[in-house]
Amino acid sequence: MTSPAFTGSRPLGVAAIGYAFMGQAHSHAWRTVATHFDVPAFEQKVLVGRDAAAVAAAATKYGWSESATDWRQVIARDDIDIVDICAPGWLHAEIATAALAAGKHVLVEKPLANSLAEAELMVAAARSARLAGVRSMVGFNYRRIPALTLARQLIAAGELGTVRQVRASYLQDWLADAQEPMTWRLRKETAGSGALGDIASHAIDQVQHLLGDAVTEVSGKLHTFTTERQGPNGLEQVSVDDAAWATLSMAGGAVASVDVSRVALGQKNALRIEVYGTDGALTFNLENPNELHFLNAHDPIQVQGFRRILVTEPEHPYIAGWWPQGHVIGWEHSFTHQIHDFLHNIADGTDPSPSFEEGLAVQHVLAAVEASAAAAGKTVAVPLSAPIRESISTPKD
């Protein structure tokens, strides 16, 4: 391994790999974070993609100084200190392990990898790099939605008492039309899985993160509603799931249900989370991201009920960096908060969360859901080397 990424007098040099949906979202975060927050100095050096003309146009549009088509050459550059991996999942392990070996700090989009074997390689690389001061983080950006950060704080403070039950549902409809064409996201060899890895990974991470707890066993089911779609060379077999369902048992005694779909007609990006405890309850819907609903079971029964908290006050997590109280923020701001926290982790020499180990913990749950589905819903244990609560740290507000 070379020396760790430079964090001295010059700005940190950033390279992003991938310029489609996630590349655009991450680029927006890099472009806005220093406008709203005090962060270590950095420069958007280079955007990497396979199509030279397309990535050059994207680099200009997204605020990058230059573009490139060879990520290996980019991570070898002395002026690159941070590598932000927004490429599809099948490339995560190769790029991340190479970047960490080159002494670069790494942020990689969720899910960590397409398989447990790849995720384990990435964790080993991250642990080795950490000894040399090189930081790594997996991009579960919903942790940085102020309302969900507040929800975690309330749960940790005991406002809900003992958590008994969690419901996490993530529904979309972009594949509801059977005439939608084939994409790389519908091929197992490129996507790893369908709705399971794509959006259930978010739901599972939220369950574990909000509770500060670990999934110990699962029972699951997967289903593909449209089994063939039109590709460039005719009809192709869809080899991943359209929807997934799972029941999760938690180490602390709570039970969680997770259901996700990319064919739920009328649902655009509906991540709904409900947490029920002995002393209170919380509900959240990503389609109303500035709102958290909280019930206090100790209120008099005549006035007891869910109250709406508009999470837009400077006292709320992250909000002080944005607009006057009452002015809402959106989905994209969670990526800005993610970059804010990652930059401060690098500058402070602290370990980011979610770590690659936490990403691997989610991969273990995803793999267990697949194994359960293949065994007609049989309960499958989730192997974890250590309780996830030991590796989770509260993000900076």
Per-residue pLDDT tens for 253-278?
A: 999 999 999 999 999 999 999 999 99
| Res. 385: pLDDT tops 90 | no
- Segment 198-204 shows an average pLDDT of 97
The whole-number pLDDT of residue 16 equals 98
Cα–Cα distance measured from residue 353 to residue 208, given in angstroms and rounded to the nearest whole number: 13
CB-side exposure of 165: number of CA atoms within 13 Å?
A: 7
User: How do residues 66-125 score in pLDDT, each as one tens digit?
Assistant: 999 999 999 999 999 999 999 999 999 999 999 999 999 999 999 999 999 999 999 999
Map out the domains of the chain with their CATH numbers.
Answer: 12-134 (3.40.50.720), 146-328+355-390 (3.30.360.10)
Token pair of 10, please? 């010059």
Give the pairing of strands 12-17 and 42-48.
parallel
Cα–Cα distance measured from residue 363 to residue 359, given in angstroms and rounded to the nearest whole number: 6
Single out the residue of 333, 336, 334, 314 nearest to residue 324, CA to CA.
314
User: How far is CA 74 from each of CA 30, 81, 105, 270, rounded to the nearest angstrom?
Assistant: 18, 10, 13, 37
Cα–Cα distance measured from residue 201 to residue 354, given in angstroms and rounded to the nearest whole number: 13
Single out the residue of 135, 114, 246 nearest to residue 187, CA to CA.
114
The whole-number pLDDT of residue 44 equals 98
SS3 labels along 245-271: EEEEEECCCCEEEEEEECCCCCCCCEE
The whole-number pLDDT of residue 9 equals 77
- Segment 168-172 shows an average pLDDT of 98
Q: How many CB atoms lie within 10 A of CB 336?
A: 28
The whole-number pLDDT of residue 156 equals 98
Q: Which of 17-31, 339-353, 381-395 has the lowest mean pLDDT?
A: 381-395
User: How far is CA 144 from each of CA 4, 259, 316, rounded to the nearest angstrom?
Assistant: 27, 22, 12
Single out the residue of 346, 322, 324 nearest to residue 32, CA to CA.
322
- Segment 167-187 shows an average pLDDT of 97
| Res. 143: pLDDT tops 80 | yes
Query: Is-above-0.85 flag for pTM?
Result: yes
Position 379: which residue type? T
The whole-number pLDDT of residue 355 equals 98
Single out the residue of 328, 288, 255, 267 nearest to residue 148, CA to CA.
288
The whole-number pLDDT of residue 392 equals 41
- Whether the CB-CB separation of 7 and 346 falls below 8 Å is answered with yes
Cα–Cα distance measured from residue 170 to residue 293, given in angstroms and rounded to the nearest whole number: 18
User: How do residues 26-72 score in pLDDT, each as one tens digit?
Assistant: 999 999 999 999 999 999 999 999 999 999 999 999 999 999 999 99
| Res. 389: pLDDT tops 50 | no
| Mean confidence (pLDDT) of the chain | 94
